[in-house]
Amino acid sequence: MTDALHIVCPHCHTTNRVRVDQLGSAPDCGSCKGSLFTGKPLELTVATFDKHLHRSHIPLLVDFWAPWCGPCRSMAPAYAAATAQLEPQLRVAKVDTDAQQALGARYQIRSIPTLALFVGGREVARQPGAMGQADIVRWVQMHLPVQKK
C-alpha cells in the first residue's frame, strides 16, 4: 500500500503504519504514545540500528561521532538544528562509535564525524568532516531520491 509508511518509534522501537498525508501532523506511536518525530537526533545502538535501518520506509541519516572528538562536538548543534528541517522526511540519528564499536567497524568508519545516508536499507552517500546546518541539509537533499507527490 503506497499511501502508508512504516515508521519505527524512537522511544519503544515499535514499527508503526503512518499515512503519508499524516507525516507532517506530528504522528504518535500506537504502542507507547510517544511522538514518532522528536525534532532531535536519535541515539542508536547496535540493538536499535537495524530496526530503524530496515523497518522504516523513510531514509536514515546517521552521524557517526565520538564524545572526545572536537569537530564532532562543534558540529552537534548544527546537526540538531538540521534535524528540525529534515524530519519527518527522514530519521536523523547519531551513533557513538566509542560506545557502539561494532557499528563503526561494520560501516568502516575511519574518521569522525562522518555522515552516512541510507535509503531502503542501503548506504547511498557518505560525507566525512564537520559541516554547518545549511550544508548538512543541502547535502542530504542532494542525495535523496526524488519524492513522488
Model pLDDT for residues 85-121, shown as the tens digit of each residue: 999 999 999 999 999 999 999 999 999 999 999 999 9
Q: Percentage of the chain with pLDDT > 90?
A: 89
User: Is the full-model pTM beyond 0.85?
Assistant: yes
pLDDT for 24 equals 85
72 counts as catalytic:
yes
Helix or strand or coil: residue 41?
A: coil
69 counts as catalytic:
yes
Nearest to 100 by CA among 112, 83, 91: 112
pLDDT for 3 equals 85
The full set of domains in the chain, from first to last, is: 37-143 (3.40.30.10)
Q: Where are the alpha helices (DSSP H) in the chain?
A: 46-50, 70-86, 101-106, 133-143
Strands 15-19 and 4-8: antiparallel
Nearest to 7 by CA among 28, 96, 105, 122: 28
User: What gap in Å lies between CA 3 and CA 122, rounded to an integer?
Assistant: 22
Q: Residues 37-55: what's their mean pLDDT?
A: 96
Q: What is the DSSP letter of 54?
A: I
The active-site residue, picked from 9, 29, 32, 69, is 69
Q: What is the mean pLDDT of the chain?
A: 94
The active-site residue, picked from 9, 12, 32, 72, is 72
pLDDT for 2 equals 57
Lowest mean pLDDT: which of 37-41, 85-89, 145-149?
145-149
Helix or strand or coil: residue 75?
A: helix
pLDDT surpasses 80 at 47: yes
